[in-house]
């Protein structure tokens, strides 16, 4: 599970300033970004699979609640909670909770970043249209702006042609590791109590709280 979390963090952090390489791809991504920005909140569920060059597979399921700059996410046995001021990362394997200022947090498991990953740090190129689970999708490739500083060489996005939603994202790392996110549920503007985004120590008895 540690490898899953580390790769997830790599996926979200090694980005810089975005610029466009393909007008058709950028048009599709701009449309999706505009849709995401109209939402006050959203909820997602997905399956994630890691296949490494050694032939080992690792699978996990994920859920995420987002409301403005607040989020609550669970990936496998790990949880990250942020109220926009503080962020709490719960690592079950260590029975530890890492508390940090939200502005200083890596937020490697932020579901909002997963759903807007194309917005910063990438060139993009339209590839094709195809069917995914019976639904027509656009396939768009993303390439890191500074390849030498990235651990991956390509991210492939599958975007619903009719629903204008991200359906799948595939990360291809330089070491041969492939991480695949398959979205299984997306709900726009659900009602979410702000208490969801505050760490409740009573729900994690026996865990050490470590403050940065």
* CATH code for the domain of 145: 2.50.20.10
In-domain check, residue 208: no
Cα distances from 125 to residues 19, 88, 139, in angstroms, run 11, 36, 9
- Is the pLDDT at 183 greater than 90? The verdict is yes
pLDDT at 34: 96
Report the 10 Å Cβ neighbour count for 155: 21
State how many domains the chain has. Answer: 1
In a domain, 211, yes or no: no
Q: In the prediction, which pLDDT does 56 show? A: 76
pLDDT at 17 (0 to 100): 39
What is the pLDDT at residue 14?
44
Q: Is 38 part of any domain?
A: yes
Mean pLDDT of 10-29: 65
Dihedral (CA of 158, 138, 14, 170) sign: positive
What's the rounded Cα separation, in Å, for the pair 148 and 167?
28
For 78-89, what is the mean pLDDT? Answer: 92
Residue 30 lies in a domain: yes
- Asked if residue 209 belongs to a domain, the reply is no
Q: What is the average pLDDT score of the chain?
A: 86
> What are the tens digits of pLDDT across the range 38-51?
999 999 999 989 89
pLDDT for position 115: 87
Spatial CB neighbours of 135, under 8 Å, sequence gap ≥ 6: 160, 161, 162, 163, 167
pLDDT for residue 161 is more than 80: yes
pLDDT the model gives residue 110: 77
Q: Is a pLDDT exceeding 90 seen at residue 140?
A: yes
Q: Domain limits at 89?
A: 2-189
Angstrom distance (rounded) from CA 194 to CA 87: 14
List the structure tokens of 191.
């009602």
Give domain status of residue 8, yes or no. yes
Which of 47-56, 85-94, 149-158, 199-208 has the lowest average pLDDT? 47-56
Check residue 180 and give its pLDDT.
Answer: 92
Residue 202 located in a structural domain: no
Q: Indicate whether 18 pLDDT > 70.
A: no
């Amino acid at each position: 599970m540690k490898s899953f979390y580390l790769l997830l963090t790599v996926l979200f952090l090694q980005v810089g300033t975005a610029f466009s390489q393909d007008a058709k791809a950028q048009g599709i991504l701009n449309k999706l970004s505009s849709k995401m920005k109209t939402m006050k909140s959203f909820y997602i569920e997905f399956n994630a699979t890691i296949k490494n060059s050694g032939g080992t597979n690792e699978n996990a399921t994920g859920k995420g609640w987002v409301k403005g700059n607040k989020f609550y996410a669970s990936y496998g046995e790990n949880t990250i909670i942020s109220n926009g001021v503080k962020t709490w990362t719960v690592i079950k394997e260590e029975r530890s909770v890492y508390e940090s200022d939200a502005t200083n947090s890596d937020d490697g498991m932020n579901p909002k970043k997963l759903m807007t990953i194309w917005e910063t740090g990438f060139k993009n190129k339209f590839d094709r249209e195809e069917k995914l689970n019976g639904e027509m999708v656009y396939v768009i490739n993303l390439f890191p702006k500074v390849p030498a500083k990235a651990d991956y060489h390509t991210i492939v996005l599958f975007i619903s042609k009719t629903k204008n939603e991200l359906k799948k994202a595939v990360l291809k790392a330089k070491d041969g590791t492939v991480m695949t996110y398959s979205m299984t549920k997306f709900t726009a503007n659900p009602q979410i109590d702000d208490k969801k985004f505050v760490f409740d120590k009573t729900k994690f008895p026996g865990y050490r709280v470590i403050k940065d």
